[in-house]
Structure 1
């Protein structure tokens, strides 16, 4: 009795179907959180906070010359594409297609939480509260990871915009923000450590390519690796500046492997995994499978 009651009130619990009232709640919360995040991201891309005395900067004003500094243009374009994909995903809550509607509803609580955490992150980041920003990213990484593993067969366009895209950025942002938070990361010892840690991008991407055959994660991390590489080229030259070389190498490897994983579907041979799925059909309930 207690378990059934808990499942009924838990927005993250698995459900075979959603009532009209639940769908309406998800429609409102997902759409509002999406709009709040988009407006905030655009505003603080071009403006900085003005209240208080703490150092305030635009979003990219705190992109300091650390070993994980990113290129503002590449990462901004990455997020513009994610916002467009997430808009399509959100609209799926209003569609008559039961497969897409159910799939989007299943991840809606995770998406709403992610949007709100990123909204708060932007406010903290632009006000130079780096440790608190890092903490929110860690919480969101756990949230998006849970969404990924619990709903790994979500139709591709929903999965890419609402789960894999934000998760990949969140993973890279842990390095980016962490390097800013610890300060003084541009000296020789920190650069050597960073030259080792950056290979975590490749390891993380290979995990999803091998275990899930998820080329969306491969492409996401490839783009973000290229962004890091260009960001490193634009930072102050250092005696032990190998980070850009490693980042370009990682980006190239992930891109090539992602193309190889995606190729069967692109040429009409979907023998590796059913279209609309990330992994085999026994990983999720049938209502989430895309019958396109």
Structure 2
């Protein structure tokens, strides 16, 4: 069976054993990540070779040009965890042949991997193993990108379950993994000096390019919104600590650009309907853009 030989392979049907396994493993991996993130948000590790701090104590201690605001990011993750609950519930449908269940099962290996990689990242981040943590972030970014390209078109449409699944399982985690590359990477290279801030002032514009790619090619307002929120977290953090720098100005500028573009893509009748989707999937797949009224291209 495809799900046995390669769990990341797309399957049209699943055996009862595979369905049962995913019904057990998927919620457990989610619960482990939720508990771990809450615990280490308030409690530092009690073992480890290097400095041990909570998630946000590390963020404050290593206040790089990509340090984030703890309140905004915490709210981001609380909302993301809540949005993932409907996806978990979709795994427990009684109709084993339903398209919704099959899609949920196809996403399960990617979702579990994301949870486990984030679980490992939190442990490494709090114990100051920044380079190892960065490796997990890179792996997670790659696997989430692959999942996005494969399944985002299948979750297109205006149905609430599809929107919530896309937001909670694909767009939200992928946007975070992109931001975490800079967050952890800056801490790993000890980017505290003036030269590092100059470089950061240039690299922050890749956030606008990355978000613009998904807004233009996929017309994905969910990615645009997630990235605008995380960019706001960067801007607030930099403004409250390094007012004389320009990083917060650029962050708020990028946030505004992403947010305005997101509203334009999400709102019916605005320029979002005129943007063509990229050919990242085969022609025989449905490639209707997110919230575009179900039209195909």
Q: Per-residue CA shift, 1:43-87, capped at 9, x if unaligned? A: 000101112452110010111211001000000000000000112
- Is the CA contact (8 Å cut-off) linking 1:264 and 1:272 kept in structure 2? no
Change (3 A) 1:251 1:283: farther
- Which residue matches 2:189? 182
Residue in 2 aligned with 1:249?
Answer: 253
Distance 1:91 1:281 in 2: 29
Q: Which residue of 1 aligns with 2:127?
A: 127
Instruction: Name 1:170's counterpart in structure 2.
Output: 177
Q: Distance in 1 between matches of 2:286 and 2:222?
A: 21
- What is the TM-score with the length of structure 1 in the denominator? 0.87
Q: Is the 8 A contact 2:149 2:281 kept in 1?
A: no
Partner of 1:276: none
Q: Is contact 1:67–1:179 with CA below 8 Å preserved after alignment?
A: yes
Distance in 2 between residues matched to 1:280 and 1:142, nearest whole Å: 17
User: C-alpha separation between the residues in 1 aligned to 2:282 and 2:264?
Assistant: 21
* Offset, 1:95: 2.6
Gap regions ≥5 residues in structure 2: 156-161
Q: How does 1:1-292 map to 2 (within 5 A)?
A: 8-63=4-59, 64-96=62-94, 98-152=98-152, 153-154=154-155, 155-183=162-190, 185-238=191-244, 241-264=245-268, 282=283, 284=285
Q: Secondary structure at the match of 2:267?
A: helix
- Measured against aligned partners, the alpha-carbon deviations of 1:150-173 in whole angstroms (never above 9, x if no partner) come to 111222210110111011011001
Cα distance, 1:234 vs structure 2: 2.1
2:265 and 2:273 in contact (8 A); partners too = no
Aligned equivalents of 1:213, 1:176: Cα separation in 2: 26
Q: CA 1:163–1:146 in structure 2 vs 1: closer, same or farther (change >3 Å)?
A: same
1:180 & 1:53 partners in 2: Cα distance? Answer: 17
- Report the alpha carbon displacement of residue 282 of structure 1 after superposing the two structures with TM: 4.5
* Partners of 1:147 and 1:157 in 2: CA distance: 16
| TM superposition shift of 1:99 | 3.1
The DSSP-based 3-state class of the residue aligned with 2:63 is: coil
Q: 1:129 to 1:52 in 2, by over 3 A?
A: closer
Counterpart Cα distance in 2 of 1:149 and 1:12: 13
Q: Where do 5+ consecutive residues of structure 1 fail to align? A: 274-278
